[in-house]
């Protein structure tokens, strides 16, 4: 059950993972250059972080081009985001609803957004039920869907 190794990422590490996710894979130099110049650390800083990420198992070397190592993410963006959300939820007493309520309260989420999301979800839900029924005999319902099977690229 591909149990992803829940790694904990610091802010800078996240920043750099962001670049890796965006690139798919790349050398330290490429990763560094992928970062917005505003907050672009020195080459060696990025290198250090990449190494640390490697130790944590968040990225790995996939090959070597010239004398440069090419890295790619092991931890998916989704998994990392989930980790963050869980942490935040913990602070909120584990209640996603309180979180949402606050989002609304501060106007970061409008009633409109919610309605929108709701209808989208209702559709998805219905869809899933159908699929579920169609494959009744097969594997039990995937409680935890894997990465990617949705269109709507994360940017």
Partner DNA sequence: GACAGCCAACCACAATTGTAGTAGCTTCAA
Partner DNA sequence: TTGAAGCTACTACAATTGTGGTTGGCTGTC
Question: Which residue, 27 or 73, is less far from DNA as judged by CB?
Answer: 27
What's the start-to-end Cα distance of the chain, in Å?
28
Question: Which residue, 10 or 95, is less far from DNA as judged by CB?
Answer: 10
Kindly state the number of chain residues that form the binding site for DNA, as judged by CB under 7 A: 22
Task: Pick what 102 binds: a second copy, DNA, none; C-beta below 5 to 8 Å, kind-dependent.
Answer: a second copy
The nearest distance, CB 22 to a second copy, in angstroms, is 11
By the rule CB under 7 A, 47 interacts with DNA: yes
Based on the number of CB atoms within 10 Å of its own CB, is 153 exposed (0-12), middle (13-18) or buried (19 or more)? exposed
80, 14 contact by CB (below 8 A): yes
Question: Which residue, 38 or 138, is less far from DNA as judged by CB?
Answer: 38
Question: Which residue, 45 or 102, is less far from DNA as judged by CB?
Answer: 45
Beta-strand runs (E) in 41-85: 59-65, 68-73
Binding site for a second copy (CB under 8 A): 14, 18, 78, 81-82, 84-85, 88-89, 91-93, 96-109, 111, 113-118, 121-122, 125, 143-145, 154-155
Question: Distance between CA atoms of 36 and 19, rounded to whole angstroms?
Answer: 9
Query: In which region does residue 24 sit, left (phi positive, over 0), alpha (psi from -120 to 50) or beta (all else)?
Result: left
Cβ count near 28 (within 10 Å): 20
Interacting residues toward DNA by CB under 7 A: 8, 10-13, 27-29, 41-45, 47-49, 66-69, 154-155
């Amino acid at each position: 059950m591909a149990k992803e190794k829940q790694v904990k990422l610091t802010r800078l590490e996240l920043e750099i993972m962001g670049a890796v996710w965006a690139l798919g894979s790349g050398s330290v130099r490429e990763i560094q250059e992928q970062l917005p110049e505003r907050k672009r650390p020195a080459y060696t800083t990025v290198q250090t972080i990449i190494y640390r990420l490697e130790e944590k198992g968040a990225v790995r070397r996939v090959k070597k081009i010239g004398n440069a190592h090419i890295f790619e993410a092991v931890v998916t963006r989704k998994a990392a985001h989930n980790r963050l959300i869980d942490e935040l939820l913990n602070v909120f007493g584990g209640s996603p609803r309180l979180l949402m309520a606050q989002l609304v309260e501060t106007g970061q989420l409008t009633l409109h957004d919610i309605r929108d999301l709701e209808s989208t979800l209702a559709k998805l839900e219905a869809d899933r039920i159908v699929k579920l029924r169609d494959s009744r005999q097969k594997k039990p319902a995937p409680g935890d869907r894997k990465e990617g099977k949705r269109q709507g690229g994360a940017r």
